[in-house]
Amino acid sequence: MTEVVLFHHSQGLTPGVAAFADELRAAGHTVHTPDLFDGRTFDSLDEGQDYVGQLGFGEIIERGVRAAEPLSPDAVYAGFSLGVLPAQKLAQTRAGARGALLFHACIPVPQFSAAWPDGVPVQVHAKEADPFFAEDIDAARALVSHCPDAQMFLYPGDQHLFADHTLPSYDPDAAKHLTRRTIEFLGTH
């Protein structure tokens, strides 16, 4: 069906991210999960963010771009929080991108290109009161208002990484809806 490149959040390639990828595979999709941290995972968001601070956001983006280079450009790029950085850059700048799935974050479009590319659908998923997403909601609203193929789904609550079942922020109901919508998106793109 669809090839997906799924980037992890700042706690690393956790078993929860791997399990989400497995759900997409069970729905018939090919899913790649590049490890941007070379096997490192972190017990807390703060620890992961400290590590990201050492590497720098530019390095995270470039690691994601390098990880995607040997893969077909005909893919949907997805990311959880920090993973939105390389996913969104690739969706906006790599010719042949089929779509983007932005979980828990959204970067202003001009960060990577002048405009969102025509014909590249995108979904943004977040909690309506997530304090981390509060920094990104204006970018998400602008994307949705300017891109006819964009959708934003806001779920009740304030948890940030609510779709990773291995974290305390996991919300099974919201994660179920996010997963269903993701699989439907992949089935049509």
Cβ-contact 54, 30 below 8 angstroms: no
Closest by CA to 80, choosing from 169, 1, 184, is: 169
16/172 Cα distance (integer angstroms): 12
| 3 state SS of 132 | coil
- For residue 99, give the amino acid letter: G
Residue range 109-138, pLDDT digits in tens:
999 999 999 999 999 999 999 999 999 999
Q: Residue ranges of the chain with pLDDT lower than 50?
A: none
pLDDT of residue 189: 78
Residue range 134-153, pLDDT digits in tens:
999 999 999 999 999 999 99
Separation of CA 120 from chain center: 15
pLDDT of residue 1: 85
Is the domain defined by 3-188 classed in CATH 3.40.50.1820?
yes
pLDDT of residue 179: 98
Neighbouring-strand partners of residue 5:
32, 77
DSSP 8-class letter at 12:
B
